[in-house]
Chains A and B, each alone.
Chain A
Amino acid sequence: MIFFIKLSWRNIFRNKRRTIIACIAIGISLASLIVWDAISIGMKNSLLKSVTSSFLGEAQIHNKDFRDTQETEKTINKLGKIVSDLKKEEKVDRFTFRTISFSMITSPSEVNSIILFGIKPETEKYLSKIDDSIKEGNFFKGNNERDIVIGAKLAEILEVSIGDRVVVTVSQAKNGELSQEMFRISGIYKFNIKEMDTGMAFIRLGKAQKILGLGNNIHEIAIKFKNLKFSTQNNISFWKKYSKYDNEAVSWSTLLPQLKNIFDFIGYSFIIFGIIFLTVVAFGIINTLFMSLYERIFEFGVLRAVGTRPSGIRKLIICEAGSLAVFSIILGTILGFIITIIITKTGIDYRGLEIAGATMQELLYPVMQIRQYIIYPIVIFLFTLLIGIYPAIFASKMSISNALRKSL
């Protein structure tokens, strides 16, 4: 076998130009797979980070009917028990409380419908980026319970600025009676996400509970895990544990199914992309091996004549395919590594791009993973060997007398 490997390695370099061109083509395919995968992971991470760290959180707990009905009275059951359990939860890093209600906001010149969030500023800042997105004013500095923070677009619609007064109208929890309260604009944020900049406003949790008539109850607990991967692990006990007492604990993938669909789509497109590249690789290998084979038909005839078994010829061709793959893999991994490193240094600027409700807020950086440099080269190597079987069988079944006649 060692002799066949040595012979095949020398054979593939008999026509250096052809081999190098074939290897570059295969290498570029491998490099493309590596870079595409790194960018895909980077894009997923970036989108997920944008969504979960902007406001959503990585998981949420609600009353099980709240998401469907959005009714103010559907608050989280047994809140005390849940909070004490969450505090002991090893996987959980931070959590914060929110109330959520449909409201009307009125300025002296305009009126707009919004979702009014009651938040705890001191814990909210660890779960969302509202405080980082403040463009004017501040994020609940001091203790004024009449502070309200609104989006830049909403401020434009209402024609208000910092210090201006607005009136918020909500429907109370128990009797559905309307309740109005005057607030003073203390902060204006800009997320570059249309829904957030136009349709959301934030007040302190205590004030929200008061005007909604909720007592100490809340609608939502937003959670950040110590590791984001917990949010995608459906089998961990966390989900079951906090889905008791007519509550539900759900991850971002349930809250934003369209984002999960986008991730699935990225996964499928990678598979399609991979199949196309592997097909290119397959034709490249078959073409190279057959060209080399037809040039050496007499030689194969001689090898068979002097006693090489058909299996020996098959081994030789498979070894040639393998040698071609090894050379291509070395080229491809180096090329893939260099391109990924370059993009990692510069990043790809897709900031502001909105996909399925998620807006890219940071430069996109490819994510290098060991598997890209182990699994894909192994796949290319095995695939090349598999493709080599056809020319190998062809060569081993060649008629010896016909092959020897090719010299004449």
Chain B
Amino acid sequence: MEYNENNLIITKDLKKTYKDNGVYVNAINGIDITINSGEFTAIVGPSGSGKTTFFNLISGLDSLTYGKVWLNSKLISDMSGKELSDFRRDNIGFVFQAYNLIPVLTVEENIEYIMLLQGVGKKERHKKVLNILREVGLEGMRNRVPTKLSGGQQQRVAIARAMVSEPSLILADEPTANLDSKTGTELLNMMRRLNETTGMTFLFSTHDKMIMEKARRVITLKDGLIEKDEIKA
């Protein structure tokens, strides 16, 4: 396997077959792809094309039926459950469609959760939380609970949580789906800016045309295969 230091994700003949109501469904049919560090890439395609399954496989949230996945030069498809948990904690930030904040924790507690799992000290956590809140424009809101925030603000907190431990990859699954277009645009511009300033890789699974326009690379999936891989100039 040839591995370039710029390569963040490499998949080799990635396949996933589900059993749904006794019927085998091929969700991913053999994807070979390389995604480099610092990319701002959108995975697009119609419903059932395999976007979410692809996300789950490259992040180790789901097991492969066949093939291999390397992330940050580590073969994650062979890792145990515990190793995968630690690997995700240290290397991947997740942003989901439904904000996914823990409602009983404050903004600060939500953001520092991953650092807590990593064993980062209290002072360091606090400092990083304040910095990231500034970055996402939520200074002064660290003690609020998610229910006291708007949808856009909650998604900003989710982005802050995903980025605070400085992972190499941010996976965003339909991050703008629940937001109005103005808030969605603001959020996307913010992520684009963070991508440029931090160099973190952003990978979106989306139907949103705005994300497709802002993305520098758009990979289109159809029936579990790559139909088109377009890199913008």
Which A residues lie at the B interface, using CB under 8 A? 3, 7, 10-11, 14, 298-299, 302-312, 399-401, 404-405, 407
Residues of B within 8 A of A399 (CB): 62
Q: Which of B150-201 contact A (CB under 8 A)?
A: 161
Closest 4 CB pairs of A and B: A307-B89, A10-B104, A401-B62, A302-B100
Smallest Cβ distance from A251 to chain B, in angstroms?
59
**Which of B4-12, B109-117, B136-144 binds A?**
B109-117
Check A307 against B86 for contact (C-beta < 8 Å). Answer: yes
Complex Cα gap A304–B61 (Å)? 9
Check A307 against B61 for contact (C-beta < 8 Å). Answer: no
Nearest residue (CB) in A for B101 is: A302
Main secondary structure of the interface of A (DSSP, over half): helix
Check A305 against B117 for contact (C-beta < 8 Å). Answer: no
B34 beta carbon closer than 8 Å to chain A: no
Residues of A within 8 A of B61 (CB): 304-305, 400-401, 404
Q: Which of B85, B90, B100, B104 contacts A7 (CB 8 A)?
A: B104
Residues of B within 8 A of A401 (CB): 53, 56, 61-62
Nearest residue (CB) in A for B98 is: A407
Q: A14-B104, A404-B96 are in contact. Are A306 and B62 (CB under 8 A)?
A: no
Q: A312-B117, A399-B62 are in contact. Are A306 and B88 (CB under 8 A)?
A: yes
Residues of B within 8 A of A307 (CB): 85-86, 88-90, 114, 117
Nearest residue (CB) in B for A2 is: B116
Complex Cα gap A299–B101 (Å)? 8
B103 beta carbon closer than 8 Å to chain A: yes
Check B114 against A302 for contact (C-beta < 8 Å). Answer: no
Residues of B within 8 A of A309 (CB): 81-82, 85-86
Which B residues lie at the A interface, using CB under 8 A? 52-53, 56, 59, 61-62, 81-82, 85-86, 88-90, 93-94, 96-98, 100, 102-105, 113-114, 116-117, 161
Check B117 against A308 for contact (C-beta < 8 Å). Answer: yes
Q: A307-B86, A404-B61, A407-B96 are in contact. Are A3 and B104 (CB under 8 A)?
A: no
Residues of B within 8 A of A298 (CB): 98, 100
Check B89 against A306 for contact (C-beta < 8 Å). Answer: yes
Residues of A within 8 A of B85 (CB): 304, 307-310
Residues of A within 8 A of B104 (CB): 7, 10-11, 14
Nearest residue (CB) in A for B161 is: A306
Residues of A within 8 A of B56 (CB): 400-401, 404
| Most chain A CB neighbours (cut-off 10 Å) among B53, B90, B93, B100 | B100
Complex Cα gap A310–B86 (Å)? 11
Complex Cα gap A391–B89 (Å)? 24
List, sorted by A's number, 19 A–B pairs whose CB atoms are closer than 8 Å.
A7-B104, A7-B105, A298-B98, A302-B94, A302-B100, A304-B85, A305-B59, A305-B88, A306-B88, A307-B85, A307-B86, A307-B89, A307-B114, A309-B82, A311-B82, A399-B62, A404-B56, A404-B61, A407-B98
Nearest residue (CB) in B for A403 is: B61
Complex Cα gap A407–B113 (Å)? 21
Residues of A within 8 A of B114 (CB): 306-307
